[in-house]
Amino acid sequence: MRAHLIVIYTERLEACRDFYAGLGLVFERERHGDGPEHYAAVLDDDVVLELYPVSPGRPATGSLRLGLCVEDASRPAGRQVLTDPDGRAVDLLVR
């Protein structure tokens, strides 16, 4: 079993997009049917990370620790724990 979709609901959609894009994710703007406009990025192994705006019946994603591994020569190698604009912990492993 493996994850194939991670959805984060946020009140700070643009700020979260900027934060995760700064980690190297490439987002596309999407809209399915008459649903809300949101952002989606495809990670390795075709795992999709989506950022959705909060809407009635869909509260913001609360406490969450998300682990991401990136290859980024501009960052020092090792593990860092960052905080996204909503206060969620992002455990970043830089290789």
Question: By the 8 A CB rule, do 50 and 27 touch?
Answer: no
Q: In CATH, what is the architecture of 5-54+63-94?
A: Roll (3.10)
Q: Indicate the domain borders of the chain.
A: 5-54+63-94
Question: By the 8 A CB rule, do 9 and 25 touch?
Answer: no
Element (H, E) at 51: strand 48-53
Look at the pTM and tell me if it is higher than 0.95: no
How confident is the model at residue 42, as a pLDDT? 97
Query: Which tens digit of pLDDT belongs to each residue from 58-87?
Result: 889 988 999 999 988 888 899 999 999 999
Confidence of residue 10 (pLDDT cuts 50, 70, 90): very high
Bridge partners (DSSP) listed for residue 69: 93
State the chain's mean pLDDT as an integer: 94
How confident is the model at residue 55, as a pLDDT? 87
Question: By the 8 A CB rule, do 88 and 67 touch?
Answer: no
d(CA 10, CA 25): 17
